[in-house]
Chains A and B, each alone.
Chain A
Amino acid sequence: MFSFCTDPDQLAGLQWLSCYLTTGKHMAFYTSFGTIMLLLIITAPVALMFGFGGAMAARSPIAPIRWFGKAYTAIVRGVPDIAFFLFFVIALDQAFEWLRHQVKCPDWAEPIRQGSDFVVCSAAKLPLSSSPQWVHEVYGFSLAILTFSIVFGAFAANVLFGAMRAVPFPQIETAQAYGMTTRQTFWRILVPQMWVYALPGLSNLWMILIKATPLLFLLGVEDIVYWARELGGSKTSAFTYPHPDWRLYYFLGLLVFYLGLTKVSEIAFDRIMKRLTLGQATTGGESQRKTPRGKATA
């Protein structure tokens, strides 16, 4: 990167370090922090949407939909989430390929599961074996996002379902007394008021989502854990920048990154909570009403 980096053997001290930290692989390492943020930014709204759908389904008057919603919210309780991650990545991949197989190769005679193999026609492969490398990477990353969204959607559904039930019932009764339909009551009365009850749960969920991002490594994405292991491992003199086993320092760096991320989120959520409790009929809102603005503590 720097002009003096052409011959790393001649370098020492700070110059060596500055060259070492700007190699192409290190740049890929820094980019993978972006991958993490991208995952967080995409997953959070999608999971929230899944969660909202799940919570709505769990409240549905139609029994099969309600069972589906309840089952979806219940899956998180008894089983380790890591098992879900490992399961969904393969299961989703196979499901997509199977669907494409049914559409694209309807006259395929052989069975799809042959012993220990999962065989679909080559036109149904995802991504196609002819597609470039980046398509494979994007596909892998999208699968990971979908997996994260499904699992965290279930958690969010749990939180939102509880929040919808926490809205004071007289509010709903009043809406009905004014002649609002069920749909109107839901969208105009219940949904705007439920967020303050959902926020503690959702903020907890966000923290958990942050702390779940290194699991990307298990899903085969080249994320920060992958690079930390790759770059930190001891390099012999055959490499341009030889160094002993530095994985400890790389992981320390990751630890600090995550601590910073959770700390910043905590502060942000405290602010949002203050905003949301403003004017609510809760103790938090009441204490803000009584103390002048700015000094209020939620």
Chain B
Amino acid sequence: MSCLETIQAYAFRSLGYGERLLPRSDFTLCEQFTLIGSGMIWNVYFGFFALIFGFCLATAVALAKNSSNKVLRKPAEWFIFVLRGSPLFIQFFLAYETFVLLPKLTGDLNLGFVELTVETRWLTKAWLGALIVLLLNTAAYSGEIFYGALKSIPKGDVEAADAYGITGWKRFRRIIWPTMLRLAWPAYTNEAIFLFHATTLVFFSGFPAWRQQGDALYYANYFADKTFNPFVPYPILAGYFIILTLIVTGIYGLINTRLNRHLPREKRKKIRIRPQIIR
């Protein structure tokens, strides 16, 4: 098989398209590059959606933790404590076992323009179950980051808003929220990077890889097991992740520039990657 044919056969293998059987012997470099790259689709999928949904939830959690109302504050504190204090690995196992025990229900979800059939069985599949765990996890970590940022919003900014008669939702939307994001952004960039790294845990913790459709580490591990040679697949995986990390840093850097665009140049905070690592 030429390399082009290999790419055609395996580029979307992780999603179930193309060749069904994984290569079994005489592994070529091209096969390893293609399949591990194919697995990266899952890593990007998990990371992207967990970040988007997690961001909204994290803002809510941070506000709740900052609230003076005990009914709001306590649950937020516990949410952050439990999810940050325990390993993500255990959280995956726990969630999977919980989802398996749920009664099998099927329901229809009417979104107005389209009707979806929703099943609780989906929760035991990685694409939904693991995504929920990841988004809750990142919501807790970024919630804590946002909470810290909320606490360090300069008093003068809020007082100025009050003096101008900006209150309530408008004050939050135009003063507090942008400042919170600006202060939290360097730390939040790290969180995003390590969330992408954490996505590699999914198929090693409870959630089965259905029909061998796994993520990049799943395939890298497959090759390492079959060839008994870790020195090829893992560096390939490392290469893919370094590229992904650079892309994430680039995008977050752009957002950071936009958030800081009103500040004089020398006051802008640079993003530094600092290891936060395993959760």
Q: A residues within 8 Å of B by Cβ?
A: 76-83, 86-87, 90-91, 94, 113, 115-118, 155, 158, 204, 208, 210-215, 217-218, 225, 228-229, 232, 245, 247-248, 251-252, 254-255, 258-259, 262-263
Contact = CB atoms under 8 A, between A and B. Distances in A.
A225 B86 CA distance: 13
25 contacts: A78-B238, A78-B241, A78-B242, A78-B246, A79-B237, A81-B277, A81-B278, A83-B200, A83-B237, A86-B220, A86-B230, A90-B224, A210-B87, A212-B278, A214-B87, A214-B89, A217-B89, A218-B204, A225-B90, A225-B93, A248-B94, A251-B90, A252-B94, A255-B90, A255-B94
A208 B277 contact: yes
Nearest to B273: A77
Contacts of A245: 97, 100-101
B217 A83 contact: yes
A82 B89 CA distance: 11
A82 B200 contact: yes
A174 B243 CA distance: 44
Interface in B162-212: 196-198, 200-201, 204
B86 A259 contact: yes
A211 B197 contact: no
B85 A83 contact: no
B81 interface: yes
Majority SS at the chain B contact face? helix
A118 B278 contact: no
A259 B234 CA distance: 32
B221 interface: yes
Contacts of A255: 82, 86, 90-91, 94
A117 B228 CA distance: 6
Given A91-B230, A115-B25, 12 more contacts: A77-B245, A82-B278, A83-B220, A118-B229, A210-B87, A211-B88, A211-B278, A212-B87, A214-B89, A215-B89, A229-B93, A259-B81
Nearest to A229: B93
Contacts of A218: 204
Contact of B228 (A86, A118, A217, A262): A118
A254 B90 CA distance: 7
A78 B204 CA distance: 20
A225 B205 CA distance: 10
B90 A83 contact: no
Give the size range of B's interface with the partner.
35 or more
B217 A82 contact: yes
B85 to A, nearest CB: 4
A79 B220 contact: no
Contact of B85 (A77, A80, A115, A263): A263
Interface string B213-244: 00001001100101111110010011001100
Contacts of A258: 85-87, 90
B264 interface: no
B152 interface: no
A70 B89 CA distance: 30
Contacts of A76: 275, 277
B86 A83 contact: no
B94 to A, nearest CB: 4
A77 B246 CA distance: 10
B279 interface: yes
A225 B200 contact: no
Contact of A215 (B220, B228, B278): B278
B28 interface: no
B177 to A, nearest CB: 27
Interface in B67-98: 81-82, 85-91, 93-94, 97-98
Given A83-B237, A255-B90, A259-B85, A77 B229 contact: no
Contact of B231 (A91, A155, A210): A91
- Residue of A80, A116, A212, A248 most packed against chain B (CB within 10 A): A80
A22 B196 CA distance: 41
B221 A80 contact: no
Contacts of A91: 230-231
Contact of A116 (B25, B81, B245): B25
Contacts of B82: 255, 259
The 5 closest A-B pairs by CB, nearest first: A80-B197, A78-B242, A211-B87, A87-B234, A248-B97
A50 to B, nearest CB: 15
A116 B227 contact: yes
B238 A83 contact: yes
B228 A90 contact: yes
A116 B85 contact: no
A79 B243 CA distance: 10
Contacts of B90: 214, 225, 251, 254-255, 258
Contacts of B274: 158
Contacts of B245: 77-78
Contacts of A116: 25, 226-229
B138 to A, nearest CB: 15
B201 A82 contact: yes
A248 B197 CA distance: 26
A232 B87 CA distance: 19
Contacts of B275: 76-77, 155, 158
A81 B198 CA distance: 9
Contacts of A113: 229
